[in-house]
Each structure stands twice: as structure tokens, then as C-alpha cells.
């Protein structure tokens, strides 16, 4: 059942594909709440992981669970993440543009000041 899934798929797509295949034979949560409870469990395990190796393992479990939840919602994770990356990139470019226009150095600003620019970029993106 799983052997036909191309291993060269991006990791998020691979995760969604293998979880989709096992769901077709009934190995899946009955309700979305079960997936969200599993996500909370994985986040707790990550938080209590004793070392970097265990944290990496638990973070992988978080991503795996998120991939499953996205699959259940009909969301393609690769597309969703690409969109988030594009929005981040665009917003940060707007922040840099605002700094150029006002002669400010973004690297010398406090995080609070940077966050104000971030919020301005989000408002611009939303047409506000």
C-alpha cells in the first residue's frame, strides 16, 4: 500500500500521501478533534524533550500531525507553505521599503519597532 508512494516527493507531500493511503483502509481519526488532541500531545512531548535529537524527532511528529490535519481539511501543505513564504517575503520587502523611505536601519530597530512595520505591511497587503 505505501510502497508505491514516490520517496522523492517533498516531505510534506509525502506525509500527506502516506496518511491519505492508510486513511482509505480506515487507519484514521474519526473526528478532527482527535487530530488536534494528538497535535497538543506532540507539542507537549516536544516541550519536554531532553535534548536536541529528541526535539528534532518530536518536531517531526508535530509536522506529521499537521500534515494529517491539513489533509483532512483538503489543504495542500506545499501550496499553503509556499503562500505563507510569499506573504512573508512581500511583507518584509515592504518593511525594508519603509525603512529606506524614512532613512531608518532595520537592523538597529527594536523588535517592537520592527513589529510595527510588520503590522503596517500586513495592513497594506489587506488593502487597509
pLDDT along the chain (128 residues), means of 10: 94 95 96 97 98 98 97 95 97 96 96 96 91
Length of the chain counted residue by residue: 128
Q: Say how far apart CA 3 and CA 11 lie, in whole Å.
A: 15
* Nearest of 50, 49, 76 to residue 61 by alpha carbon: 49
| Residue 48 confidence (pLDDT) | 98
Task: Please give the CATH topology (third level) of the domain spanning 11-75.
Answer: Helix Hairpins (1.10.287)
Whole-angstrom distance, CA of residue 62 vs CA of residue 19: 14
Domain boundaries, the chain: 11-75, 81-125
Looking at residue 128, its pLDDT comes to 84
Helix, strand, coil shares of the chain, percent, nearest 5, are: 75, 0, 25
Amino acid at each position: 500500500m505505501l510502497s508505491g508512494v514516490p520517496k522523492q516527493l517533498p516531505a510534506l507531500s509525502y506525509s500527506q500521501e502516506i496518511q491519505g493511503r492508510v486513511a482509505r483502509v480506515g487507519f484514521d481519526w474519526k473526528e478532527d478533534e482527535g487530530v488536534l488532541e494528538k497535535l497538543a500531545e506532540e507539542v507537549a512531548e516536544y516541550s519536554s524533550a531532553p535534548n536536541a535529537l529528541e526535539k528534532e524527532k518530536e518536531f517531526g511528529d508535530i509536522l506529521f500531525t499537521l500534515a494529517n490535519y491539513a489533509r483532512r481539511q483538503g489543504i495542500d501543505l506545499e501550496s499553503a507553505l509556499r503562500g505563507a513564504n510569499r506573504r512573508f517575503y512581500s511583507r518584509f520587502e515592504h518593511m525594508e521599503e519603509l525603512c529606506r523611505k524614512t532613512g531608518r536601519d532595520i537592523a538597529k530597530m527594536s523588535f517592537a519597532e520592527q513589529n510595527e512595520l510588520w503590522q503596517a505591511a500586513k495592513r497594506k497587503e489587506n488593502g487597509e
